[in-house]
Structure 1
């Protein structure tokens, strides 16, 4: 599968961050071939019609919508070309975490690495215009960099990301995470890194050097699920991706994810979804999942 990588020299910027108009990158969004990237994308659609197949989710793309895509999420666009108008904010995780001097900054944003709630957010025409205005200002500072540009970019970017986070939390009735609840965000970060080989809560309490009770309290406060539930959600997400995209059979997937036996993986999947892996694939291929 094709992987698009962020190269700042090719993008003509000094940061691992860029703002791109639909005219600059339209080819990637009207090409129906599946691919993934090594960077985050926030896509602000003014005009659009079609669908996005993101991992195992089919998402409708329409006018006045914001889309949130995390790195290495498999995607396949099917958009109508007539009238298509959007702006993309693209950046790499390490850059953003360093830019704001917070190693788990991206994990504080509710719309990234989201496993349960929608990855798209309908907005008013007025709010879409405001987001595009902010993105235009950021782009201007990236192109004509001045001695104080880094401070202006940081201010504009922080405001935009947090404004989107507030909107997302309100639309999905989610609490804004407490900024001092680091363990919950570190746990979410560790799940992204280690889910293929670590599937016990004890693995993560050991990495974080905290008790199970402390971890569960932090996760429950921030994400309104238990630490175990979040781990199971992330593991299920990984299994679905393997089933759809890897070409491996269940035994091979079980081996990749360090299940002791394929039956254990199948039992876990059936418990979490109410269907077998075969039923899931059949429904997915028929477009009914």
Structure 2
């Protein structure tokens, strides 16, 4: 059987407007080179999609999201995605590099304050009512208008609008999924999430992460359950499965992946993957 095609990665174009600008906005239906077919692909940046019209599905990793008006979809870097459109999709896409906010707020953990990004155990989409969706559109219109008249201080103005939008979306998300809505969460929880992004391939246990954070294992579990609903070890497993799926999309063999993530042999890796997904790595790859 022929190997599955390697997933293409799309990178951000920071100099599209002449000077470096780490955020962009566009109409989904008119944005040139925007992938709207069944091609599986991934982005190296963050994206928020606002659906005004259209039907179909949007698959993010293995999660199939039904497209409806007033649907909002959040994509984090590296997630594999694919559209299947039944009726033409219209709306906005807003995408940005993490440094667009990190450099301004001098906080490398800034985006971890929002529940919908870097998420691997909860939904990465939400369907909101007409009024709150309209409030989001108002901010998007302001961002779009600023792009039409870029000035020396536009970076700051757009950043302030984006920050408002992210906070509003976090409140909507928290209310819909009954999670922590305040962007202030214990900093060690953010630090743990950040370490997971960087260290998951090292095969650390929850106790190992607690040691790196200089906190007790019990305390780490407490804040993880408080702010995510999961234990620290469960968060590690979810993140590990997420990263393994990315490697499968890169056409790496089970043997390569098992040794990269510290499994003793491919059979143990296969059992671990099936325990959390219900299918084997080979079956998962065939789905795409």
Which of residues 31, 40, 46 in structure 1 aligns to 2:46? 40
* Count of residues in correspondence between the two structures: 282
CA distance in 1, matches of 2:145, 2:223: 40
TM-score (normalised: structure 1)? 0.87
CA distance in 1, matches of 2:105, 2:155: 11
Partner secondary structure for residue 108 of structure 2: coil
In the other structure, the counterpart of 1:162 is 167
Q: Is the CA contact 1:33–1:77 (under 8 Å) kept in the aligned structure 2?
A: yes
- Of 176-185 and 66-75, deviating more is 176-185
CA distance in 2, matches of 1:10, 1:55: 28
CA distance in 2, matches of 1:251, 1:177: 42
More helix by share: 1
Alignment of 1:201-220 (within 5 A): 201-220=206-225
Cα offset, 1:229, TM superposition:
1.2
In the other structure, the counterpart of 1:281 is 284
Change (3 A) 1:94 1:207: farther
Answering whether residue 73 of structure 2 is matched by residue 107 of structure 1, we say no
In the other structure, the counterpart of 1:239 is 244
Partner secondary structure for residue 204 of structure 1: helix
CA distance in 1, matches of 2:266, 2:29: 47
Change (3 A) 1:45 1:276: closer
Consecutive unaligned residues of structure 2, counting only runs of 5 or more, are: 1-6
Alignment of 1:115-126 (within 5 A): 115-126=120-131
Cα offset, 1:69, TM superposition:
0.4
CA distance in 1, matches of 2:169, 2:205: 33
In the other structure, the counterpart of 2:267 is 263
Change (3 A) 1:105 1:126: same
Partner secondary structure for residue 126 of structure 2: strand
Change (3 A) 1:132 1:26: farther
1:123-167 Cα distance to aligned partner (Å, 9 max, x none): 122322221220121222234234554443233211110100010
Change (3 A) 1:32 1:265: same
Cα offset, 1:26, TM superposition:
6.0
Answering whether residue 145 of structure 2 is matched by residue 172 of structure 1, we say no
Change (3 A) 1:127 1:13: farther
Change (3 A) 1:278 1:23: closer
In the other structure, the counterpart of 2:258 is 254
CA distance in 1, matches of 2:44, 2:20: 18
- Of 145-154 and 250-259, deviating more is 145-154
